[in-house]
Amino acid sequence: MTATFDDAVRARLRAPHIWYVGTVFADGAPQVSPMWVDLEGENELTFNTSVGRVKEENLRRDPRVYLSHADATDPFDRVQISGVVSRFVEGQEAHDRMDRLARKYLGSERFEWIMPGERRIAVVVRPVKVRHIVGVERFRPGGPVPAS
């Protein structure tokens, strides 16, 4: 099953916002990192990491990923995306994609902080559930009943 992005979520993914990306350690504990994220086509998203980083290791073992972003002026206006890795992009294309993120986030032509021997990897994510919540979230059906 694939979820789609509405125009508001698509605009957030196109803008240079920091997203919090969560993966799952082998013991089930969460791992969360602030990341540069971009729209990939119309219905996927992408971010970039390096081979050997915890995110990459976690996602190769368990492809589930969770992204969250809150508006800087209204933290109760937030987007939450649950997804699964649809593919990893390696080699020169992954480095080119990192340069594209540097243009978006820094306005520079290239990502200047590549370490010697570093191999970039682009992660492409297929969204499974997309939620855009503004204000206080309502209880789920069957949750607490308001007092009368």
Q: Which two tokens stand for residue 56?
A: 């990459």
Q: Which two tokens stand for residue 55?
A: 């995110």
Give residue 116's domain range: 7-134
Cβ atoms of 23 and 67 within 8 Å: the answer is no
Calpha distance 96→124 (Å, rounded): 14
141 part of a folded domain = no
60, amino acid identity: R
> Residue 108 above 90 pLDDT?
no
- Tens digits of residue pLDDT in 4-61: 999 999 999 999 999 999 999 999 999 999 999 999 998 999 999 999 999 999 999 9
CA distances from residue 51 to 55, 59, 109, 111 in whole angstroms, order as listed: 9, 11, 22, 16
- The number of distinct structural domains making up the chain is 1
145 part of a folded domain = no
Q: Residue 36 belongs to a domain with what CATH number?
A: 2.30.110.10
